[in-house]
Amino acid sequence: MTKQTRVDGPAGVTAAPRQRVASAAPYLLALSLVARFAVTYLAPNGTNFIDLHVYVDGAATMRDGGLYDFVYHPVIPPLPLQFTYPPFAGVVFYPLHFLPFPVVALGWQLGTVAALYGAAVLVLRLLGRPDARLAMAWTALAIWFEPVRHLFELGQIGALLMVAVLYAVVSTRWWVSGVLVGLATGMKLTPAVAGAYFVGARRWGVVLVSAVVFGATVAASIALGGAQARFYFTDLLGNADRVGVVDTPMNQSLRGVVGYVAGHDVGYGAPLLAAVTLAAVLSLAAWWRVGADDALGRIVVVMVFGLLISPISWTHHWVWMLPLAMWLVLGPPRPGGRVVGWAWVALGYLGSPWLVTFAGDTGRMAGRPWYADLFGSLYVLAALATLAYLAMVSRRSD
C-alpha cells in the first residue's frame, strides 16, 4: 500500500485528495449550476423572485413619487411586500424596469453566481493561497447553503454586497475601498457595519471616503426622489416592523431569536440589551485574539457581529457563512478550527430556521417543543458559540 504524502499548509489535507478536488472542481460547479437552474425553471414554485420584483417594480414607481407607497402582492407567499431599502437603491434599480423581467431575473442569477465565485476568490487571496479551482469547489458547495438558496429564490442582493465588502478589504487603494463601502451602504444600510473593520484597521482614508460617498448617495436620492427620499430618512429609517415580522426564525438576529423564544417582539428591552452586550464582548475578544495580521478573520468577526445586532437579519443575510466557513477550514490553523468550519457547512445545508418556519405558522407553533426553539435559533447560537471559541482559542504557530 502506498503512503499518501502530506502537504503543509492551512488546508492540512493530503496531496492526492486535494488534486482530485482541484481536477473535479469545474465539473462540480457546472453540475451544481445545472441543478440550481433546473430548480429555478423546472420545479413548481422553485423560484418566485419576489424581492427582485419589489426592487424592479417598486423602483419603477419612483418617478411618480410612489416608492414607499408601492406594495407587491405575490401569490406565494401570500403577503404584501413593500420597498424597504434606501431611496438610492431605487435610483440604481430604476433602469431595470425597462427590460423584460425574465431577462433581469436571469442576469440577476448569473450575477449572484459570479459574486459567490468572486467572494471565494477574494477569500483565498486574503488567505494568501489564490486557487481558481478551489474557489470553484467552494462556490459549488455554497450554492446549496440555505442562505444562498434563499438568495436565488428571492432574487436578493446579498452576494453582490458581500463581494463588494470583501474587495474593499483586499484593495490597497483607500479610495476604491471607501467608494465600495459607501455605495454598498447607500444601497442597503447593513454593509455600514464593515466600517468598524476599517476603523479597527486604522484605514482612516477608507472611513472618510465611505462616509462622504454614503452622504453623496443620500444627497443624490433626495435630489432625484424628493419627498419620498426625505420620508425614508425622517420616518421609515429604523422601523423594523415595516420590513416584516420580527419574531420569526427567518430573522436570525438577536432581536429575532429572543422574540421568537419569548413569543413576541421584545423590542429594545433588557433581554435584548443583555444579548447585544454579550455579543459585543465576545466579538471584541475574538477580534483581539484573531490578530491584526488576519484581515479575513477580522472582517468575518465584524460582519457576524453585524448580523447579530441588526434588528432584521433574514436568513439570506447569512451568506457570510461562505467566508466564515472557508476561513475556519482553510485559514490559520487553530485547535478544532476545521471542525467548527465544517460544522458551519453542515448548518448551511441543514437550514434549520427554514425547516422550523415551514413546520408551522411562520415558526410560531402553539406549545412547540424545546427543540423547535433550539432549531429556530441555530444560526445565532452557532455564531455566539463561534465568537466564544475564537475568543478563547489561539491559532497554532506551526
3-state secondary structure of 81: strand
In a domain, 269, yes or no: yes
Helices 101-126 and 50-60 cross at an angle (nearest 10°) of 120
- How far is residue 159's CA from residue 142's CA, in Å, rounded to a whole number? 11
In a domain, 45, yes or no: no
- How far is residue 187's CA from residue 196's CA, in Å, rounded to a whole number? 18
Which cell numbers in the block locate residue 298?
477580522
pLDDT tens per residue, the chain (398 residues)? 444 344 444 344 556 677 777 789 999 999 999 999 999 999 887 788 999 999 999 999 998 888 999 998 876 666 788 899 999 999 999 999 999 999 999 999 999 999 999 999 999 999 999 999 999 999 999 999 999 999 999 999 999 999 999 999 999 999 999 999 999 999 999 999 999 999 999 999 999 999 999 999 999 999 998 899 999 998 888 776 677 788 888 999 999 999 988 888 888 889 999 999 999 999 999 999 999 999 999 999 999 999 999 999 999 999 999 999 999 999 999 999 999 999 999 999 999 998 888 776 544 545 678 788 888 899 999 999 999 999 999 887 65
**Which domain range does residue 387 map to?**
244-398
In a domain, 24, yes or no: no
Give the closest residue to 160 by CA, choosing from 108, 215, 83, 85.
108
Q: How many domains does the chain have?
A: 1
Give the closest residue to 316 by CA, choosing from 182, 147, 168.
147
In a domain, 5, yes or no: no
Q: How far is CA 181 from CA 32, 40, 250, in A?
A: 31, 31, 26
Q: What is the pTM of this model?
A: 0.92
- How far is residue 195's CA from residue 203's CA, in Å, rounded to a whole number? 10
Q: Which amino acid is at 173?
A: R
Who contacts 69 (Cβ-Cβ below 8 Å, separation ≥6)?
61
- How far is residue 165's CA from residue 182's CA, in Å, rounded to a whole number? 10
Give exposure, 294-313, as e/b (b: 16+ Cβ within 10 Å).
Answer: bbbbbbbbbbbbbbbbbbbb
In a domain, 310, yes or no: yes
In a domain, 28, yes or no: no
